[in-house]
Homo-oligomer: A and B are copies of this chain.
Amino acid sequence: MSGNTFGNSFRLTSFGESYGSFVGGVIEGCPPNMDIDFALINNAIKARQTSIFAYASQRKENDEVQFISGIMNGKTTGTPIAFLIKNQETSSTAYNKNKNVLKPSHGYFTYWKKYGIYDYKGSGRASARETIVRVIGGCFAMMYLQQYNITIKAYTTQIGQIQTNKKNLFYGETISSNPLHCPDNESYVKMLEVLESAKKNKDTIGAQVSCVIRNTPIGIGEPVFDKLHADLGKAMLSINAAKGFEIGSGFTSASMHGREHNDLFTKEFHTKTNHSGGIQAGISNGEVIYFSVAFKPISSIMKDQESIDIKGNPAVYIAGGKHDICVVPRVIPVVEAMAALVIADHILRFNAYKNN
């Protein structure tokens, strides 16, 4: 079974290669009669755009989404919403110089071995180009979540050695004031230096993105396997370059004692602390949901690398193409989109049998 569909009740099917004519998707299960917020879609596309930031790829991605079905008079109809985004840059001649040379730490090798085809052009499905589809799909999920007043906001909490100390100090208004969506300006300035230094060295750098979800109703999540944070974790780990996920207290919890970690109740059925990260036993408990995702440095560095060709002979992988220095800030709308898809899917799943 192929793995190009995400979700159970609210589902996104993704298709398209980096250097094909289009990438696109099909959204199934989106409720009918929902007003489509085209501004929200355009903003999300812009947030993922390449040209917005000095440390982002200069690939031409002035994306516009074309809707094929499932929409009438500005509203969803309940039928599948298919959409396309044209790949404006489909010439892959830049890749010719590395024809048959394996790119280190990239999907070329594993795709080749799995599918029996060595696609040297822009890595096909393994390209992060695919994430634009997630962003569009996520926008429809977010439109659905708006009626619950649910908000989702991701922000940069680490680049290289620089970590903000506001990781879990749930975000305030300051976040959007800088292009990295970093919650404190001091860290932001240092992060820019790290990016500048990596760029000078023709290198790339890893990052960490955190995310908060507010106003999720109590009761969302389906134990014992489809716990809400398990599905959030899968969603995040499915994003290109993701290497780690933690919910609430996360890896810190391994060094904590129970007395310190337990979230005691207030009289209003809230909790005094929120080490749980808004999810208890796999089900949302009404507190703020927050989690973090670790991303490795992008493998496409601007220096040549020693490698082998597809026959196993030594070869040099020549630097080139258009690539980001770091996954942030472009991955931020992708994290938000995947979170929205998970929450919407679980609300629909719960709707099926609640109030019966």
Contacts and interface: CB of A to CB of B under 8 A. Distances in A.
Nearest to A313: B267
A115 B246 CA distance: 27
A153 interface: no
Interface string A50-89: 0000000000000000001110100101111110100000
**Size band of the interface chain A makes with B:** 35 or more
B244 A109 contact: no
Contacts of A253: 206, 243-244, 294-297
A175 interface: no
Tally of this chain's copies: 4
Interface in A1-46: 1-6, 8-9, 11, 13-17, 20-24, 26, 28-34
Interface string A211-227: 00000001101111111
Contacts of A150: none
Interface string A253-269: 11111111111111111
A349 to B, nearest CB: 5
The listed residue with most B CB atoms (<10 A of its CB), out of A159, A255, A285, A308, is A255
Nearest to A83: B15
A354 to B, nearest CB: 8
A208 B254 contact: yes
Contacts of A281: 106-107, 110-111, 123, 126, 240
A188 interface: no
A104 interface: yes
Contacts of A193: none
Given A110-B285, A312-B269, A244 B243 contact: no
Given A261-B296, A268-B312, A224 B14 contact: yes
Contacts of A225: 3-6, 14, 234, 238
Given A26-B15, A147-B356, A224 B3 contact: yes
Nearest to A162: B255
Contact of A352 (B9, B17, B301): B9
Interface string A111-130: 10111110100011110001
A211 to B, nearest CB: 14
B262 A353 contact: no
A48 interface: no
A299 interface: yes
Contact of A20 (B68, B104, B243, B280): B68
A230 B269 CA distance: 33
